Structure 1
Amino acid sequence: MRMMKLSLLSLAVAGATLSHAALAEEDPSNLITQGKPILDARYRFENVDQNNALRDANAQTLRTRVGFQSGKWYGLSSLVEVDNVSRLGDAAYNDTRNGQKEYAMVVDPDGTEINQLLLRYDHRYGNAVLGRQRINLDNQRFIGGVAWRQNEQTYDGALAQFKPLEGLTLTYAYLDNINTIFGPDNGRFDNRTNPANIEGHSHLINAQYLLMPELTVTAYSYLLGLDNIAVAATAPLGTLSSKTSGLRLTGAVAGISYALEYAQQNDYADNPVDLDSEYRLAELGYTFKGVQLKAGYEVLGGDNSSGNRAFQTPLATKHVFQGWADQFLTTPADGIEDAYLGFTAPLAGGTLQAWYHDFETERTSDSYGDEIDLSYAHPIPGVKGLVGLVKYASYNSDDVARTVDTDKVWLQLQYTY
């Protein structure tokens, strides 16, 4: 009996201690004391040399990002983040807003904007986010943040992730505005292909299940109601509204990785044009002693109807795909087939990348041309968080293509606190 009383007393004391610790752990002051500042500065020089009447572009810009990520209180947290993009030196480039149309394009307009402003709730079974936020789904082929450009693409809306079973993640997002890389402001030099904000009502549905280390299955349906943007400057508004549904299989075994994907795209919302096109991807990779080799074949289908009804990816992080020279940000009406191979490898404390692309039309198998991409990134000694980057892209156009020979060079320094 005495032992039982002692045990009950011990449990009571332990419970009181745990309750006190839990209360202390969930103190509202944690939102501030456990938070952390955000500071990021990225200087970039970009040169664009095209074989046409446009003058070579030389852009120097500085992107400064400041903000604060709060700590958590009963799963609740918040984040605020502000970006400023400033031109350094002469405006010898067309940023789509400055009216310098005699120069090649570098899409980094000046301006200051709230990049993210959100409330977040985390639970053992998932999370929910409300406000302006970064959304990157899967490999960002359809939904991404375009982080390469100085003004990142972010989304206004609500996102919820539910994880009812181990390995299963269900994601749903509702969007009513997209803050594009062309912002923060419109002006007299923009057109209907590059608004600062894309308005409309969109729904993102994504279900991912890790069946085993060798196989992850992702099914998705992205219903994009994009009211004030068009596939071309002379096309009707709403022609990029679409429903894209597909299936993606990925996995890796013994150093060999793969990705297989198929999607179907149809018109949605108030799109005045009938859409019916396909997306296909087959990719194989191999990793050995830190060197990652990869080869793939990606197809965005065309259409023989009037106008451009090819498979489009208006909210993708497009710079990652189809070459760094960004010649196919809008899929041509004849579609595109991209056969590519390349590698990523450690080198002298940094990272080297090299890629080759061969582009053909999907409908007629004519050649658009080919491209070589090279980059090298290296931390700057003596300054924690500072990384330098040298990057080069060379696109060689075929005579039958409606593109032009393009060379791009980037020099970049980025500091992240």
Structure 2
Amino acid sequence: MELKKSKLALTLASVLSAGFMSTSAMAADSLATAFKEGTAFGDFRLRYEDAEIGATDGSALTFRTRLGFKTAAVSGFSALVEFEDNRQVLGEDDYNTALAGVNKGKAEISDPEFTELEQAYIAYANGGFSAKLGRQVITLDGHRHIGHVGWRQDRQTFDALNVGFKSGDFNATLAYVYKHNRIFGEVRDVDADTILVNLSYDTGFGKAVAYGYQIAPEATQEVDTYGVSFTGATGGDVKFSYSAEYAVQDNKTLDIDTSYLSLELGATFSGFTVKVGQETLGSDDGNGHFITPLATLHKFNGFADVFLGHTFNSPATGMGLVDTYAFVGTKVGGVALKAFYHTFDSDEGSLDYGDEIDFVAATKFGSYTTGLKYATYSAKDGSYADTDRLWIWVETSF
């Protein structure tokens, strides 16, 4: 599915700009109404994180603020602007954020101080057609390939033209991304020439998806990924869930070809949910592996974040990763409890990367959410260091 990127971008821009010109005579009172009936919004998160990686430790107490405003829709058009800020609190700042240029000889915690424009876009919606032009959040299919990295204090966004179409059970998303705004303030933001195509259909017993993501940032690897997935669930007293995904990837920078496979089965009964699954980030004879550079990586392969290096093809991980995992979750007295177990192996060869146990407890009181999360990773075969991470947080929004 080779796409002419410049031609596609021009076509998408023409579609949206045609709509803009058709409303160029919008009356001043309509614009006033759009702002008068608009909505201010925001959210606040105070979080403590403690990390121990081998013999190195670090800790952070940070306060993240987002404030924004969205206009009401007028003739299908609306606009949104949002700012984001993160501050270190009470001098609790003994940690590295290496990709943001902060190196104190401490453990890595990827939450630097920053203030930035988080989102700013113009949107149009009419029937099943929608479009956004500007800086925006884009997430697709559970964040495995395209996500917002919302766990970190700096959310990932994209400068893009994003067009959607829905007709019955069919959905299509087509986006041209010209900048990746990463999670390290503005330090690691990169100009891009990325195309995202995602097509889905709800069959009634599950959602079938086909996608093609041509990711071409200037500052990292250029990869083309094409895949299919199917996700569904059954009803009844015992509810079963199932998902399967397969993708192939052409890494133009490293000149390698790799594949991805994910399988998961789950059941919900008597207030409990259990799942088992396996995810494989394939290797090309040890020369490199399947990567997902725009994913919400913290969601996958353990909360200790040991395997984030897989995304950027660090030398220790060219052998690929096989993550076999189990999950159990329930709710007790209004507190949601979750536990995960992971065992990690290489795709190429027979390396045992170790295992990990994760726990999460979270609850709401009024408009506030508070939680505790703990991850402990035990290394094997000398590839990585034992890692423990603890988070305690409280957040609210309006």
Please classify the TM superposition score into its range, dividing by the shorter chain length: 0.7 to 0.9
Instruction: Please name the residue that 2:255 is paired with.
Output: 274
Instruction: Please name the residue that 1:9 is paired with.
Output: none
Shift of 1:343: 1.9
Listed one character per residue, the Cα deviations across residues 165-201 of structure 1 (whole Å, up to 9, x for unaligned) are 31000110001111100222x3xxxxxxxxx212220
Shift of 1:101: 3.5
Q: In 2, Cα distance between the equivalents of 1:98 and 1:415? A: 30
Instruction: Please name the residue that 2:325 is paired with.
Output: 340
Shift of 1:289: 4.1
Q: Are 1:327 and 2:318 matched, yes or no?
A: no
Shift of 1:305: 5.1
8 Å contact 2:286–2:320 — kept in the other structure? no
Q: In 2, Cα distance between the equivalents of 1:159 and 1:344? A: 35
Q: In 2, Cα distance between the equivalents of 1:115 and 1:131? A: 11
Letter in 1 for 2:109: V
Structure with greater proportional strand content: 2
Compute the RMSD of aligned alpha carbons. Answer: 1.7
Instruction: Please name the residue that 1:123 is paired with.
Output: 126
Listed one character per residue, the Cα deviations across residues 57-88 of structure 1 (whole Å, up to 9, x for unaligned) are 01011101111121111111111110001111
What is the number of equivalent residue pairs in this alignment? 361
Instruction: Please name the residue that 2:64 is paired with.
Output: 63
Q: Are 1:402 and 2:383 matched, yes or no?
A: yes
8 Å contact 1:177–1:197 — kept in the other structure? yes
Q: In 1, Cα distance between the equivalents of 2:39 and 2:268? A: 36
Q: In 2, Cα distance between the equivalents of 1:151 and 1:368? A: 29
Report matched runs for 1:54-133 at 5 Å: 54=56, 56-88=57-89, 89-96=91-98, 97=100, 99-133=102-136
Normalised to the residue count of structure 2, the TM-score between the two structures is 0.87
Normalised to the residue count of structure 1, the TM-score between the two structures is 0.84
Instruction: Please name the residue that 1:287 is paired with.
Output: 268
Q: In 2, Cα distance between the equivalents of 1:344 and 1:29? A: 48
Letter in 2 for 1:261: E
Listed one character per residue, the Cα deviations across residues 150-169 of structure 1 (whole Å, up to 9, x for unaligned) are 00000001100012x31000
Which segments of 5 or more consecutive residues in structure 1 lack a partner in the other structure?
1-22, 187-195, 230-239
Q: Are 1:312 and 2:291 matched, yes or no?
A: yes
Q: In 2, Cα distance between the equivalents of 1:334 and 1:315? A: 21
Q: In 1, Cα distance between the equivalents of 2:228 and 2:382? A: 31
Instruction: Please name the residue that 1:145 is paired with.
Output: 148
Match 1:227 to one of 218, 225, 228: 218
Gap change, CA 1:257 and 1:301, over 3 Å in 2: same
8 Å contact 1:45–1:412 — kept in the other structure? yes
Q: In 2, Cα distance between the equivalents of 1:226 and 1:122? A: 29
Shift of 1:290: 4.0
Match 1:297 to one of 278, 284, 305: 278
8 Å contact 1:133–1:156 — kept in the other structure? yes
Instruction: Please name the residue that 1:257 is paired with.
Output: 241
SS at match of 2:259: strand
Percent identity over the alignment is 35
Match 1:374 to one of 341, 348, 359: 359
Structure with greater proportional helix content: 2
SS at match of 1:329: helix
Instruction: Please name the residue that 1:392 is paired with.
Output: 374
SS at match of 2:185: coil
Q: In 2, Cα distance between the equivalents of 1:170 and 1:282? A: 24
SS at match of 1:139: helix
Letter in 1 for 2:112: P
- Structure possessing the higher radius of gyration over alpha carbons: 1
Q: In 1, Cα distance between the equivalents of 2:241 and 2:321? A: 24
Listed one character per residue, the Cα deviations across residues 317-374 of structure 1 (whole Å, up to 9, x for unaligned) are 0000000001111321000101101122222112111100010011113210000000
Instruction: Please name the residue that 2:196 is paired with.
Output: 204
SS at match of 1:330: helix
Shift of 1:267: 2.4
Instruction: Please name the residue that 1:352 is paired with.
Output: 337
SS at match of 1:243: strand
Gap change, CA 1:266 and 1:379, over 3 Å in 2: same
8 Å contact 1:369–1:401 — kept in the other structure? no
Q: In 2, Cα distance between the equivalents of 1:32 and 1:346? A: 41
8 Å contact 2:286–2:348 — kept in the other structure? no
Listed one character per residue, the Cα deviations across residues 249-294 of structure 1 (whole Å, up to 9, x for unaligned) are 11111311100110000024xx2x2120000011011122443221
